[in-house]
Structure formats: C-alpha cells, structure tokens
C-alpha cells in the first residue's frame, strides 16, 4: 500500500461512507469497502494518537527553566 496522508484517508473514508449509505453496492462490494474503511479508520486513529503525543506545551518553571507537559484540552478551556 502506498504512503497515504491523514487527509487522503479521511477523504476516502467519506467516499466509502457515501457509497455505503447510497446502498447501490452489492453485498460483496459493500463488505470490501467496509473492510477498507475499517483499515482507514485504524490508520487515522493511529495518526491522531501520534499527533496527540507530539502536542506539548511548555510550562515555565522557577529560575527560567522550561519543561514539557502533555497538552490537556480540558485544562485550557
């Protein structure tokens, strides 16, 4: 499978969802695209987890030192 981007995978997931919702596919084709969609969903989930791990904020400590802390959306709101 070629290298894919998160955005490309999300676009393909949208296409798959539309195809399945339309109901124009045969049962076999529906199963095939559903399986593809599950793989893409897993790929996107993994990419989001990786991005979440990278997102950090710097917290200024005493004496001008900085440390990295995990980014917490609830804390920011």
- 31-74, pLDDT tens digit by residue? 999 999 999 999 999 999 888 777 755 555 566 666 666 666 66
Tell me what pLDDT residue 18 has. Answer: 96
For 24-55, give one letter per residue: b (16+ CB within 10 A) or e: eeeeeeeeebeeebeebeebbeebeeeeeeee
Domain that holds residue 45: 6-76
Residue 1 lies in a domain: no
Residue 45 lies in a domain: yes
Residue 37 lies in a domain: yes
Total domains present in the chain: 1
């Amino acid at each position: 499978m070629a290298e894919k981007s998160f955005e490309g995978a999300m676009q393909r997931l949208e296409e798959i969802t539309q195809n399945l919702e339309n109901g124009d596919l045969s049962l076999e084709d529906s199963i095939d695209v559903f399986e593809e969609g599950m793989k893409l969903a897993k790929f996107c989930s993994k990419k989001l987890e990786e991005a979440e791990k990278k997102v950090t904020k710097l917290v200024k400590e005493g004496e001008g030192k900085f440390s990295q802390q995990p980014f917490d959306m609830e804390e920011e709101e």
